[in-house]
Amino acid sequence: MSGRLRTIDVIVAVVAASGPIAAVGGYIPLIIVYGNGSGAPAALVAAALLLIVFTAGYTAMTRYMTNPGALYAYVTAGLGRPAGLAASCLAIVTYGSFLVGVYAFFGLITDDLVQNTLGGPALPWWIYGLACWVAVSVLSYLQIELSAKVLMVALTLEIAIIVVWDIATISQGGAAGLDLGPFTWGQFSQGSVGLAMLFAMGLFVGFETTAIYREETRNPNRAIPRATYSAVVLMGVLYAIAAWVLVMAVGTDQITAAATADPAGLFSTTVGQYAGRIAQDVTAVLLVTSTLAGQLSCQNVLARYLYSLGVDGILPTRFGQAHDRHGSPHRAAVLVSGVVLAFLAVLVAVGGDAAMIYAQFGGLLFYGLLLIITLTSLAILVFFLRNRHLEAGIWARYLSPGIALVALSVICYLGTTNFTILSGGSTAIAVTFIAVTWGLALAGAGYALVLRRVRPDVYRRIGRNS
């Protein structure tokens, strides 16, 4: 794949993957409900700071990496090939679950838009989900520059409506005046801080994928670190301010009750209240486009993971080939589309509820993402301990990954012990998802050990870091 992407293109792809409108409208209320209530803005600031700490070690290691497999390659370089293949399996199940779950969510919000804003008929969620699948499949097959242009338009509109709502709410003084209480320790430490951090970390999904575009980026040693820091800071500022404005719009004392009563509709309601009906209708449209943009970014990420596995020989090598004209990992993209469609077909056939599908697979996304980043923190620390001759400061070598490892491990523990909440309240589903996640990771490590014995040539190519 050719290096035609600029730093801004990578930033757009990463931030769009988080779906700003969807994050503000769908996930910030969950931080309030299940986490620390009015302290949600402080939780988002803390999550951003933690990821900035992690990024110091991550970007320091980037200059020594040439594989666009992102965290898969980093874990391989730091902890060995079995751990690397385990991380790859974790990444596949994480991003794959995101695709499956959000297609269901797309069906729900599009049906709501058609009925309540456009006055159209009610249709099954899977019809809209299938339409989204077709669009994402086609765009991911084409050259990534086209995808970047689509994401740029969607992202610009999303940020614009959030800023309009911010300004409208602030200019009107919110529900009971403005204050910075939501950023204080007292409000941050109330409720369940651990769950607040877990959900807050989830809003930054995609920040770690910048390195996947390494082979397609101009001057990657310079562009990838810049893109990673920029994406984390941009998302952190955007979401923390939006969370604060949401609290101010409803009131510090009322925000938890309001978010509990209507978590999905709270943001849209306040947009209509402070910015008017037109802005509310535009928000409904942008929620759909935001979700589409996030799906497109996620599809690109997963296709590039499979592309790396194809290049390494773990998957058939044809999946590690780029399109002659478009320069995209087209065969890997087709594989992703096919597998996701099969999962959706099964869920539709058994009569799966779209809201539960989204909640349960979304929980798997949060959990898997945290496991991957935690494993990567350990890998970065070990990598620099083993390669003391490489150029990097003490902060990037040891302190950054060490601090991130401890903090992320605590959040992972909280995620495991509270997974029932993330999976929609079903203990059986929670246990199943955790078992599948860890089982696939162990299967990946086991398969690597088998390859070491029967296909040493393929084993040596895992991670392409030997």
CB 244 within 8 A of CB 27: no
Query: pTM of the predicted model, to two decimals?
Result: 0.84
In a domain, 2, yes or no: no
**Alpha carbons 101 and 89: distance in angstroms, whole number:** 18
In a domain, 245, yes or no: yes
In a domain, 182, yes or no: yes
Distances (CA, A) of 461 to 90, 283, 308: 19, 47, 10
Mean pLDDT on 446-464: 89
Which tens digit of pLDDT belongs to each residue from 317-331? Answer: 888 787 777 777 888
In a domain, 117, yes or no: yes
Name the residue range of residue 264's domain.
Answer: 7-461
Residue 106 corresponds to which tokens in the numbers above?
A: 């797309």
Mean pLDDT on 47-55: 95
In a domain, 28, yes or no: yes
CB 100 within 8 A of CB 347: yes
Residue 460 burial (CB < 10 Å; 0-12/13-18/19+)?
middle
- For residue 465, pLDDT beyond 60: no
In a domain, 262, yes or no: yes
State how many domains the chain has: 1
Residue among 206, 242, 180 at smallest CA distance from 44: 242
Residue among 289, 288, 268 at smallest CA distance from 280: 268
Which tens digit of pLDDT belongs to each residue from 220-229? Answer: 878 888 899 9
Which tens digit of pLDDT belongs to each residue from 342-389? Answer: 999 999 998 888 877 877 787 788 788 889 899 999 999 999 999 988
Which tens digit of pLDDT belongs to each residue from 404-454? Answer: 999 999 988 887 887 777 666 778 888 888 898 999 999 999 999 999 999
The residues, any chain, with a CB within 8 Å of residue 270's CB and separated by 6 or more, are: 165, 169, 246, 249, 250
In a domain, 466, yes or no: no
CATH code, domain with 317? 1.20.1740.10
Mean pLDDT on 80-88: 92
Which tens digit of pLDDT belongs to each residue from 407-419? Answer: 999 988 887 887 7
The residues, any chain, with a CB within 8 Å of residue 236's CB and separated by 6 or more, are: 44, 45, 47, 48, 49, 51, 52, 204
Per the prediction, the chain carries an average pLDDT of 87
Mean pLDDT on 380-401: 92
Q: Band the pLDDT of 294: cuts 50, 70, 90.
A: confident
- For residue 2, pLDDT beyond 70: no
In a domain, 414, yes or no: yes
Distances (CA, A) of 78 to 56, 96, 225, 382: 16, 25, 19, 5
Which tens digit of pLDDT belongs to each residue from 253-292? Answer: 999 999 988 877 789 889 999 999 899 999 989 888 888 8
Q: How far is CA 84 from its chain centroid?
A: 20
Q: Band the pLDDT of 466: cuts 50, 70, 90.
A: very low
Sign of CA dihedral 292, 294, 297, 303: negative
The residues, any chain, with a CB within 8 Å of residue 150's CB and separated by 6 or more, are: 139, 293, 296
CB 272 within 8 A of CB 280: yes
Residue predicted with more confidence, 3 or 356: 356
So what's the pLDDT on residue 424?
62
